[in-house]
């Protein structure tokens, strides 16, 4: 069944547990709506990703540039027949969603690296200007500067590992 989709009669949930169960069911209902819209394949049709936190988080995986795997867990018992049928219908619709995942590549490495170095230099100037203006640099700001330096080092190492040599003068 859909993890968390529960009938309150079956579980006997009350109070906070019932409220949580209702919120989960609402998110799963929205997920079902999103999957219906995507599986129809109709172009230009509004897909309500933002109607729940769950669908908003899954939007890139459901209808974006990604390869996605979904698992449907079902039960052989008669007691769970309704949930099993619902899950199978859901899985059937989800199977119809077609994403064409493409590898994101940098077209021009030199241009990309120029932009990266320019952004780093801008951040360094902003830090220096803030210090000169008497801004009290906090430990957090110092940590940010350390992270920038660390990321620069990683980029250089990656470029060298990939046998790509690029140095900004």
pLDDT reported for residue 34: 92
> Using one digit for the tens of pLDDT, what is the confidence trace for 92-102?
998 888 888 88
pLDDT reported for residue 1: 42
> Using one digit for the tens of pLDDT, what is the confidence trace for 50-99?
998 888 888 888 888 888 888 888 888 998 888 888 889 988 998 888 88
0.75 exceeded by pTM = no
pLDDT reported for residue 169: 45
What CA dihedral angle connects 85, 91, 95 and 96, to 10 degrees?
Answer: 60
Distance CA 160, CA 169 (A): 17
Query: Could you give the residue ranges of the DSSP H alpha helices within 41-133?
Result: 53-63, 81-95, 109-132
> Using one digit for the tens of pLDDT, what is the confidence trace for 137-166?
666 667 777 777 887 777 777 666 555 544
> Cβ atoms within 10 A of the Cβ of 71, count?
6
Find out whether 30 and 5 touch, Cβ atoms under 8 Å. no
Find out whether 24 and 4 touch, Cβ atoms under 8 Å. yes
């Amino acid at each position: 069944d859909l993890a968390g989709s529960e009938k309150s009669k079956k579980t006997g949930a009350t109070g906070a547990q019932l409220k949580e169960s209702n919120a989960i069911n609402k998110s799963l209902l929205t997920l079902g709506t999103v999957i219906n819209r995507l599986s129809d394949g109709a172009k230009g049709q509004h897909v309500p990703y933002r109607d729940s936190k769950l669908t908003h988080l899954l939007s890139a995986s459901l209808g974006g540039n990604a390869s996605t795997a979904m698992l449907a867990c079902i039960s052989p018992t008669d007691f769970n027949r309704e949930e099993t049928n619902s899950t199978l219908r859901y899985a059937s619709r989800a199977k119809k969603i077609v994403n064409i995942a493409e590898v994101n590549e940098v077209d021009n490495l030199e241009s990309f690296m120029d932009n990266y170095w320019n952004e780093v230099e801008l951040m360094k100037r902003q830090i220096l200007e803030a210090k000169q203006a008497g801004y009290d640099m906090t430990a957090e700001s110092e940590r940010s500067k350390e992270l920038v330096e660390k990321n620069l080092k990683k980029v250089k190492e990656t470029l060298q590992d990939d046998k790509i040599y690029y140095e900004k003068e």
